[in-house]
Amino acid sequence: MDDPNRSTQAKEIDALLPLPAATFHILLALADDDRHGYAIIQDVAARTGGELQMSAGTLYRSIHRMLEQGLLVETSERPAPDEDDERRRYYRITPFGTAVASAEARRLAQLLRMARAAGFSPGRLAG
């Protein structure tokens, strides 16, 4: 039997897919640790080998929307005072955010499988 709550959540997740690239990257950056904004930018840059330099505008607009969608929460836990800067706000991924990120990853994997089946093989340069 379907759990009605679960199916509601599934619908909510589906409504958000496909995720904008910036949103997915932010979720990835927060997967293992709470981070403040600038740390997210740095993490994304590092993860993509410097390819994706997220701007402050894109970052905070994404964060604003993700907070409203319930993908993130702002955490009140702070690091030790000497490491902290009071201007900084730290963000944490929610269980819903994790579920959405997983769903997006599944969607991408499926897409990748289809691409492979169609003969597009990633990882190799064309020619």
Binding residues for other proteins, per CB under 8 A? Answer: 33-39, 41-43, 55-61, 63-65, 68, 77-79, 82-85, 87-90
Give the nearer residue to other proteins in terms of CB position, either 2 or 32: 32
Q: At what angle do helices 21-29 and 95-117 cross, to 10 degrees?
A: 120
**Shortest separation between residue 127's beta carbon and other proteins, angstroms:** 32
Nearer to other proteins, 69 or 107 (CB): 69
Structure tokens at 99: 């579920």
Structure tokens at 120: 């597009």
Q: Which is nearer to other proteins, 39 or 52 (CB)?
A: 39
Shortest CB 79 distance to other proteins, Å: 4
Closest contact distance (angstroms) between CB of 13 and other proteins is: 19
Laid out side by side, the sheet with 35-36 consists of 35-36, 90-93, 72-75
- Taking the CA atoms of 20, 31, 45 and 26 in sequence, report the sign of the dihedral they define: positive
Q: Looking at beta carbons only, is 18 or 79 nearer to other proteins?
A: 79
* Cβ 74 to other proteins shortest distance, Å: 10
CA 37 to chain centre: 13
Cβ within 8 Å of residue 121, ≥6 positions away:
none
